[in-house]
Amino acid sequence: MLRIFISFYLFIVLALVGLTSLLDTLMLENTSENKQIESLAQSLRFVQQDTDIAELNDSAHLSAQKIPSSSLALAPSQEIQFQQQGYIISYETDDTPNIYTQLPDGHYLQVKMAENDRPIGVIFWYRIAFFTLLALLVALWTWPLWRDIKKLEKAARSVQTDGSIESVNLSPSSNLNVISQALDNLSQQVRNLLNNQRELTSAVAHEFRTPLARLKFSMATLPDSTLQTDMQEDLNELDRLTQEMLEFSQSEHHTPELSVAEIPVKEMTQALIAGLPKQHTEKISINNLCQEHTLIADGHFVERALLNLINNALKYAEQRIQVSSEVTQSGLLLVVEDDGPGIPQDLRSKIFDAFYRPDQSRTRDKGGAGLGLATVKKIQQWHGGVVWVGDSELGGARFVLSYPYQG
């Protein structure tokens, strides 16, 4: 950043100095104004008497006065000029020209041109040229900066889910190379953090499995009671969460080898629902699941996706859950809808992000880790399909798994 400051500072200083001297040479020296002054100076050599001086003051709107020779100190170069030309022209700090000639009585004649006698055209065009050229030079300096900032912005917006970003190709001399490097470092750190988080999730889920299995085994040996049933349910929920975490972290690491086969949709769904606890299945109705509807996909993963949606519906539905299938022009749709609270419009894309739970208090008692829908989204991606959510006619959410047309 210091480099940008220094280069811009130097650029402005050099531009100002360069422009001023260039325009001075082109516009102020050898201009018609200078020629006027020269010819006036030449004619002043013929002023002899005080009456001539008074006339100059009256008629030519010049400020002429006689000054003693001792009041004018000339530099050696001016002395030479004086002897050669008979006059000298010197400029005051505000650029007002003073012409000096020598009178026969040894005094000097000083003639000052009044400000309003000087042509304003040159000054006006001088200013216009100065500011136009300065604006052009500044644009020339800032344009590569703007171009590089655009590249950095594009890269920053291209952050992938794994934390990687598009590479930024800045020229080695670019002032923004340091920011590009910082962005690369940041991306690297995000990738490391995500990797650590995935490894941790995977390790924790792995470590949970053995004690969970032991607990389940011990629980099964306990005599039947309400307490035992409740504990068994909690254990099953814990088991499901651990499985979800494990599957999610695996799906983040790599795309699995799909074992694709033809799946009869109705049979698969019926078997899936039959495997759920009895008290839940009463809510679920299977509608429009046509015997002929089949799917070419990996059965294990399609079941996983459907089960995640049904489990969510079981958590949020009041009374009714409906599972149906539909064939459209773009492919086969598996739909799970319920009569629960539904999903607000602004949350519909976010709920598919990993670990996203819109309302902590509402979902905590539902026991979710926020991974169910992220896993469903992954599974759909592997199959070239999509998942989305809308409103159900039942009053709640309508989740749709779409699989591309399969001929």
**Nearest distance from residue 403's CB to ligand ADP, in Å?**
20
Closer CB to ligand ADP, 331 or 341, in the complex: 341
CB of 369 to ligand ADP, least distance (A): 5
| Cβ distance to ligand ADP smaller for residue 50 or 359 | 359
Query: Residue 290 in 3-state DSSP?
Result: coil
Contacts with ligand ADP, residue ranges (CB under 6 A): 312-313, 316, 338, 340-341, 343, 351, 357-358, 363, 368-374, 396-397
**The two three-digit tokens of residue 96, written as one number:** 């007002």
Q: Which of 313, 314, 378 is nearest to 352 (CA)?
A: 378
Q: Collapse the DSSP code of 398 into the 3-class scheme (helix H, G, I; strand E, B; otherwise coil) and give the result.
A: strand
Nearer to ligand ADP by Cβ, of 180 and 308: the residue is 308
**CB-wise, 40 or 387, nearer to ligand ADP?**
387
User: At its nearest, how many Å lie between ligand ADP and the CB of residue 166?
Assistant: 29
CB of 245 to ligand ADP, least distance (A): 10
Closest to ligand ADP by CB, 168 vs 374, is: 374
Half-sphere exposure of residue 165: CA atoms within 13 angstroms, side-chain side:
23
For residues 33 and 82, the answer to whether their CB atoms sit within 8 Å is: no
Distance set, CA 321 to CA 3, 289, 380, 392 (Å): 64, 14, 22, 10
| Smallest gap from residue 304 Cβ to ligand ADP (A) | 12
Rounded Cα distance between 121 and 302, Å, is: 83
Closer CB to ligand ADP, residue 168 or residue 397? 397
The Cα–Cα gap between 333 and 337 comes to 13
| Residue 398 exposed, middle or buried by CB count within 10 Å (0-12, 13-18, 19+) | buried
Q: Least separation, in Å, of the C-beta of 291 and ligand ADP?
A: 27
What is the Cα–Cα distance from 349 to 374, expressed in whole angstroms? 11
Give the pairing of strands 260-264 and 294-298. antiparallel
Between 229 and 349, whose beta carbon lies closer to ligand ADP?
349
Task: Quote the least distance from Cβ 334 to ligand ADP, whole Å.
Answer: 14
Question: Of all residues in this chain, which one has the CB nearest to ligand ADP in the complex?
Answer: 368
Query: Closest by alpha carbon to 174, among 145, 195, 203?
Result: 145
**Which residue is it, tokens 């519906």?**
313
Cβ proximity to ligand ADP: between 268 and 397 the closer is 397
